[in-house]
Amino acid sequence: MPKILVVDDELKIARLVRDYLTEAGFDVVLAGTGPAALAAARSDQPDLVVLDLGLPGMDGYDVTRSIRRHSAIPIIMLTARSEETDRIIGLELGADDYVVKPFSPRELVARVKAVLRRTTGETTTETIRAQDLLINLPHRSVERDGARIELTTSEFELLRTLATNPGRVFTRGQLLDVMRGASFDSYERSIDAHIKNLRKKLEPDPRNPIYVLTVYGVGYRFADA
């Protein structure tokens, strides 16, 4: 039973999310503050975090920064902030998805399931080597020159999709569909933030990428073998 950490200082919303996730078969832990969320992330070791940005004192951005220092656990941000800059900041900090209040609890559950599928659904035994990069698909691990590169769930799924189809051009919309497993009415430019994070970790020089390449006006592709 996957464990979900729900972090929201509004108890009514936290309980609503908990009830829907519990009905869907998840084990749910609640936290109402940033420090409580970090403590629960360490002690309860959840499989995914649903994180409200508007927390008192230590906001969701700070919580995400702290979690990302030591963990690649999937994070879905839950917030009333709908501005483009807020979404980009959250995604660049390492969030895997972004849900704006007011939201549909059923859609949130669907997004939780989609993110978890990306974490646990890999069955292939293939590994991919591109120059000094080694991608182990079943272990969901990446190395460059023998050094381990820690990726978030979304970053790995983007890399897996691109690297298993070298040379093929993917639009932002196609990459969103692959990442979520369903076509949601979402913000396609969020892919750019994930790609930016991926390049920072993957590329020797992120400003001049050699693995994840931009096809201007269309989308992205992985370098040909």
In tens, the pLDDT along 113-154 reads: 888 877 665 444 478 888 889 998 878 889 998 899 998 888
Mean pLDDT in residue range 185-208: 83
Could you give the strand order of the β-sheet that contains 27-31, starting from the edge strand earlier in sequence?
27-31, 3-7, 48-52, 75-79, 97-100
Residue ranges making up the domain that contains 83: 3-120
Q: Which residue has the tokens 């892919």?
A: 191
Are residue 96 and residue 144 in the same domain, yes or no? no
How far, CA to CA in Å, does 69 sit from each of 38, 99, 187, 205? 12, 23, 26, 22
Are residue 87 and residue 171 in the same domain, yes or no? no
The two structure tokens encoding residue 222: 């992985």
Residue 66 or residue 70, greater confidence: 66
- Please give the backbone phi and psi of residue 147, each rounded to the nearest 5 degrees, phi first: -95, 130
Q: What is the CATH number of the domain that holds 23?
A: 3.40.50.2300
Domain end among 91, 120, 149: 120
pLDDT at 114: 82
8-state DSSP, 102: S
pLDDT at 183: 37
Domain end among 71, 97, 120: 120
- Among 25-29, 143-147, 170-174, top mean pLDDT goes to 25-29
Domain end among 64, 96, 120: 120
Are residue 109 and residue 152 in the same domain, yes or no? no
Are residue 32 and residue 111 in the same domain, yes or no? yes
Are residue 79 and residue 180 in the same domain, yes or no? no
**What is the rounded average pLDDT for all residues in the chain?**
85
Mean pLDDT in residue range 34-46: 94
pLDDT at 205: 93
Number of domains in the chain: 2
Are residue 88 and residue 151 in the same domain, yes or no? no
Measured N-to-C along each axis, helices 153-163 and 105-120 cross at an angle, to the nearest 10 degrees, of: 60
Q: How confident is the model at residue 184 (pLDDT cuts 50, 70, 90)?
A: very low
pLDDT at 100: 84
Are residue 114 and residue 134 in the same domain, yes or no? no
Residues 23 and 28: their CA atoms lie apart, in Å, by 10
Q: How confident is the model at residue 201 (pLDDT cuts 50, 70, 90)?
A: very high
Are residue 9 and residue 92 in the same domain, yes or no? yes
pLDDT at 103: 86
Are residue 83 and residue 16 in the same domain, yes or no? yes
pLDDT at 82: 65
Are residue 16 and residue 109 in the same domain, yes or no? yes
Mean pLDDT in residue range 159-183: 77
Q: What is the CATH number of the domain that holds 173?
A: 1.10.10.10
For the stretch 183-205, what's the b/e string if a residue is b when 16 or more beta carbons lie within 10 angstroms of its beta carbon? ebebbeebbbbbbebbbeebbee
